[in-house]
Structure 1
Amino acid sequence: ENNEMNFAEAVEETLKPIKSGEVVKGVVIGITPTEVRVDIGNKYDGVIPFSELTDDSNADINELVKLGEEVEVYVVLVSDRDGVVTLSKKKIDAVKGMEEIRKAFESGEILTGRVLELVKGGVVSIVKGVRVFIPVSECAERFLADLGVLLGTEQRFRIIKLDEDRRGRQRVVGSIKSVAKEESEKAAAEFWANAEVGKKYTGKVKSLTSFGAFVDLGGVDGLVHISELSWNRIKHPSEVVKAGDEITVYIKDMNKETGKVSLGYKKEEDSPWVQATKDLKVGDVIKCKIVRILPFGAFAEVAPYVDGLIHVSQISNERIDKPSDVLAIGDEVETKIVEINDDTKQIGLSIKALMTTDDSADEAPEEVEATSYTEDSSFTLGDILDAAEATEDADNTDAE
């Protein structure tokens, strides 16, 4: 008799009318790509359309609910004609989520949500079922011209404003900027605590200028000067890197007081000097082209971007007043390497060392004191420019 009464009560319960606006509980009995069917203990099954499950169009419906799971839902519409009760889970989630949002606002808790919409003046994220508006001024630590880069990304933010609009609707405002700034300051403090000249970092190229590339090292930006990007001459950093690239750099110089960090990018082992000299040794005979003539000697191209100096004393067996008496730019000459100086990055060459004399083979060869043709006649860029200017002035005088 009790069993009969329980059955009768259950039947009566299913026949009770259900109204829009009610909150009911049910069990998930079916899942399709577009909807979820729920047994709500009524003569009609309930249906939660995907749009009433979440605002995230990219969400996987099978990750949102599971078969057999009990869910609390809001009754949107009862259709006796179609025998369907339309339900909403996101409305219930939003009500519950709003309480959590309020607590997060009061505590300053950092929340994580996916940016789902671009709207006038900012973006919208959904967190705990609640729409959070993030104004353009709060979308990044620095002004972000293209908000589209945030679309679909997970962002960390704080709730900075919680109130109601003129219609009495709850308004929630978030800030990515406040979290990013705090994290940057923490990362910067950690960077300066451990940074040292020569230390390597993997960073992301943030922006390019005509004079170099700025790289985010984690809380601190460093500059790779254009001259440090390549051993070859380039007109713009974009010939080597682009914004967004991850590159390995090392600290060349830094100043904690000014916050400036100078970075190196090109590797020593790739330098023209290393590439040119790795297979050369003193005593080798090489053919090279004269590329510049100055009063103290002639420069010959040993390899691309690497020149060797043929000192005036090493051009001929006979005494000459100036290198141009014997050599001209473009001449190809055979020379002997007499010095390779890795410290000064200079190569000494000699044409004279390959010349034969008319002296009798029976005569003892004259001893030649070892000298450094690069150090004894050391030259700087200033020496070269001064000499070149003097030569140009002399040529102009002769022309007059």
Structure 2
Amino acid sequence: MVTSNFEFNKFALLLSKYDYKVKQYDILAGVVIGLETTHALVDIGLKKVAFLPLQEIYVKVPNEPKEVLDMNFVGEFLILYLNKRTNQTIVSLKQIHSLYLWERLKQIDLKNTIIYAKSEHSIGRGKILDFNGLKLYALNLHIPKYYRRKREKRFFIPFKFLEIKDFLHVVQVNAKLALFNKSSINLKLNETYKGTIISIKIFGIFINLLGLQCLLHISEISRKKLLDLTEFYKPGEQIQVQILYKDIGQGKVFLTLKEVNSIPPRQL
């Protein structure tokens, strides 16, 4: 058995004295006492040394342990796997790093902060993202088509926090809200802008303003009742509209034509 004489192993005496049973997900102080190609050997005060696999050393897997660890490296290690029958213990540094990142994340002003996370891979109806080693999740409906269609991998996308489930360590983010917050700053309430019609629906018209899809509801087009908007407008046409309301939380902009032009729109 390989052992070390570092001061942290006084903790082992305390474990024995109070008959403490080490269990999975405990965090113990330890020291690296050996470096192999695929793993490191760690003394955490138990009867046998623990194994630190290559993939559990850091959030970005190194080519070999020596790239990020030195002999006599002292730190905290999370018990990832404990086999009582063989006394084999697997520990993790990566999980400790993730826990610290999680605590730092909770200190961020989530409501007003926009972050840039790296796209990793698709899963279900969304994408897994990497934010400084912390894994985030975004539904596809919260990611613009431009980013969903990009062929290159691991590109950065701006995101705004949507929901944090502390008890599950799950973070949901929204790229559309982040882009909305950046672009909507230039859209002032009650100001008039020229926009391009994207599509026409029964309930209103979707208009592109500074890259944002804004809604011009049929009730805000004319003081007179309009039955068929396609009689007056067509996709691709540019029209003057006024900013009626901005919903920052939902990432939506509502427009009006009533104050821009009080007469019914010209029939094309």
Could you state the TM-score of these two structures normalised by the residue count of structure 1? 0.36
Deviations 1:123-177 (A, max 9, x none): 112335532101112223x55453654x32244423211136xxx6343101233
The residue aligned with 2:97 is 93
In 1, the alpha carbon distance for the partners of 2:158 and 2:122 equals: 17
| 1:180 and 2:179 are equivalent in the alignment | yes
Deviations 1:255-301 (A, max 9, x none): 9x89xxxxxxxxxxxxxxxxxxxxxxxxxxxxxxxxxxxxxxxxxxx
Q: Note closer, same or farther for the CA distance 1:70–1:12 as it changes in structure 2 (3 Å cut).
A: closer
CA shift for structure 1 position 24:
0.3
In 2, the alpha carbon distance for the partners of 1:185 and 1:64 equals: 45
* Residues 14 and 41 in structure 1, CA contact (< 8 A), matched pair in contact too: no
The residue aligned with 2:254 is none
**Counterpart residue identity of residue 180, structure 1:** L
CA shift for structure 1 position 183:
4.2
The residue aligned with 2:197 is none
In 2, the alpha carbon distance for the partners of 1:112 and 1:63 equals: 30
In 1, the alpha carbon distance for the partners of 2:135 and 2:149 equals: 21
Matches within 5 A, 1:266-285: none
Q: Percent identity?
A: 16
CA shift for structure 1 position 119:
0.6
In 2, the alpha carbon distance for the partners of 1:153 and 1:20 equals: 39
Q: Note closer, same or farther for the CA distance 1:146–1:26 as it changes in structure 2 (3 Å cut).
A: same
Aligned to 2:23, which of 20, 24, 40? 20
In 1, the alpha carbon distance for the partners of 2:107 and 2:37 equals: 34
Aligned to 1:134, which of 134, 138, 143? 138
Q: CA RMSD in A?
A: 4.1
In 2, the alpha carbon distance for the partners of 1:104 and 1:85 equals: 35
Query: Where does the alignment leave 5 or more consecutive residues of structure 2 unmatched?
Result: 1-6, 188-209, 212-237, 242-268
In 1, the alpha carbon distance for the partners of 2:169 and 2:176 equals: 22
| 1:38 and 2:42 are equivalent in the alignment | yes
Task: Report which structure shows greater RCO (CA 8 Å, sep ≥6).
Answer: 2
Q: Note closer, same or farther for the CA distance 1:102–1:169 as it changes in structure 2 (3 Å cut).
A: same
**Counterpart residue identity of residue 35, structure 1:** H
Q: Note closer, same or farther for the CA distance 1:124–1:12 as it changes in structure 2 (3 Å cut).
A: closer
* Residues 35 and 66 in structure 2, CA contact (< 8 A), matched pair in contact too: no
CA shift for structure 1 position 40:
1.8
In 2, the alpha carbon distance for the partners of 1:11 and 1:174 equals: 41
CA shift for structure 1 position 15:
8.0
* Residues 76 and 86 in structure 1, CA contact (< 8 A), matched pair in contact too: yes
| 1:50 and 2:49 are equivalent in the alignment | no
Matches within 5 A, 1:182-261: 182-184=181-183
Deviations 1:163-219 (A, max 9, x none): 36xxx6343101233333444567x89xxxxxxxxxxxxxxxxxxxxxxxxxxxxx8
**Counterpart residue identity of residue 175, structure 1:** N
Residue aligned with 2:120, SS: strand
| 1:102 and 2:109 are equivalent in the alignment | no
In 2, the alpha carbon distance for the partners of 1:11 and 1:172 equals: 35
In 1, the alpha carbon distance for the partners of 2:10 and 2:148 equals: 61
Q: Which has the larger radius of gyration?
A: 1
Matches within 5 A, 1:274-313: none
* Residues 104 and 159 in structure 1, CA contact (< 8 A), matched pair in contact too: no
| 1:158 and 2:163 are equivalent in the alignment | no
CA shift for structure 1 position 73:
1.6
Flag the structure with higher helix content. Answer: 1
Q: Note closer, same or farther for the CA distance 1:70–1:112 as it changes in structure 2 (3 Å cut).
A: farther
Q: Note closer, same or farther for the CA distance 1:35–1:180 as it changes in structure 2 (3 Å cut).
A: farther
* Residues 130 and 136 in structure 2, CA contact (< 8 A), matched pair in contact too: yes
Deviations 1:83-132 (A, max 9, x none): 53211233333333222222225353333433222111111123355321
In 2, the alpha carbon distance for the partners of 1:32 and 1:185 equals: 54
Residue aligned with 2:110, SS: helix
* Residues 117 and 156 in structure 2, CA contact (< 8 A), matched pair in contact too: yes
**Counterpart residue identity of residue 52, structure 1:** E
Q: Note closer, same or farther for the CA distance 1:26–1:64 as it changes in structure 2 (3 Å cut).
A: farther
The residue aligned with 2:126 is 122
In 1, the alpha carbon distance for the partners of 2:21 and 2:163 equals: 37
Residue aligned with 2:48, SS: coil
Q: Note closer, same or farther for the CA distance 1:118–1:83 as it changes in structure 2 (3 Å cut).
A: same
Residue aligned with 1:103, SS: coil
In 2, the alpha carbon distance for the partners of 1:135 and 1:177 equals: 11
**Counterpart residue identity of residue 100, structure 2:** K
